[in-house]
Amino acid sequence: MTHIEVAGADRIRTVVEDLERVLLDFVRTRGITHAQYRAATDLIIESVKAGEESLLFDVFFEAEATDVGNAGREGSPEAIEGPFYLENAPQLQGPVNVMPQRPDERGVPLLFRGTVTDVDGRPLPGIELDLWHADADGLYSNIHPGIPDWNLRGRFTTDGDGAFQVRTILPPPYEIPKDGPTGRVLRALGRHFFRPAHLHVKLRGAGFEEMTSQLYFEGGDYLEDDVAGAVRDGLVIPLVTVDDPARSTEHGFDRPFVDARYDFVLERRANTSASA
């Protein structure tokens, strides 16, 4: 989306002038020297050169922006997208969707399933879920080397009852890249580099607002101490371990698996806004 599409010229002018005022005031009251100013802009330039500009900003600021949008939302809360989303992931063939994965993909098998409804509880068929997450080493395909393209990235749609299910593996807590500029900042602040285990998902369907969610798992590490500060009530879901060969077979797994459910609620697109 372009800047004008998300804000409009008047809004851009208002917020940019306000930001300018806030930052000028900050420079003055904090006594930022010329050298310190140059060091800060160099850091941003380095983050761009390292391909970390989204990482740097998302870790520090994205969750705050989702909170602003979530205040007063009737649908499921949104969550941070983070730096590793890619458009045009492979389309999976239901009804039991299987995420693209290596034949020997490591990790605990995960069945992720649920429903998508509107705010009145009506099931929504044909909603696309665009799911992406890390592998058992905490690495994302198409970003980190040595992983087949599109591994653990896939799109699938809700069935006639507004339900979905997908087979994948449970991602572990994830250590963000720490050897670049973002890592240098976090180290200087004395922070660690971990995010709790999570699934990223976007939902889209004609007539509904596209939304970006992220789901975490009860009892996991770093839920209270996410480097990106992005965990919110309502996004942490239970994991039920299923150690029953018959049920593994029923769901196409060759070993015990974990079962995770989440029901999404989508908001209708306001029909006053331009359709996209």
58 binding ligand MBD? (CB under 6 A): yes
34-49 and 181-188 helices, crossing angle to 10°: 130
Tell me which residue has tokens 């922070």. 191
Closest CB to ligand MBD among 116 and 230? 230
Relative to beta strand 194-195, strand 153-157 is unpaired
Residue numbers at the binding site for Fe ion (CB under 5 A): 82
Measured CA to CA, the distance from residue 51 to residue 61 in angstroms comes to 17
Question: Which of Fe ion, ligand MBD, none binds 222 (CB below 5-8 Å, type-dependent)?
Answer: none
The answer to whether the beta carbons of residues 107 and 171 sit under 8 Å apart is yes
**Dihedral of the CA atoms 175, 180, 182, 186 (nearest 10)?**
70
The four Cα atoms 262, 204, 209, 260 give a dihedral, to 10 degrees, of 10
User: What part of residues 163-182 is at the interface with ligand MBD (CB under 6 A)?
Assistant: 174, 176
| Minimum distance of Fe ion from residue 55's CB (angstroms) | 10
User: Which one of residues 47, 77, 84, 173 is an interface residue with ligand MBD (CB under 6 A)?
Assistant: 84
Comparison of 118 and 226: residue with beta carbon closer to ligand MBD: 226
3-state secondary structure of 121: coil
Residue with Cβ nearer Fe ion (82 or 173): 82
Query: SS3 of 152, please?
Result: coil
Q: Give the whole-angstrom CA distance, residue 162 versus residue 140.
A: 28
What is the smallest separation between the CB atom of 182 and ligand MBD, expressed in angstroms? 9
In the complex, minimum distance from the CB of residue 224 to ligand MBD, in angstroms, rounded to a whole number: 16
Given ligand MBD, Fe ion, none, residue 83, with its beta carbon under 5 to 8 Å by kind, binds: ligand MBD
Q: Measured from the CB of residue 264, what is the shortest distance to Fe ion in angstroms? A: 18
258 part of the interface to ligand MBD, by CB under 6 A: no
- Residues of this chain that bind ligand MBD (CB under 6 A): 55, 58-59, 80, 82-84, 174, 176, 195, 228
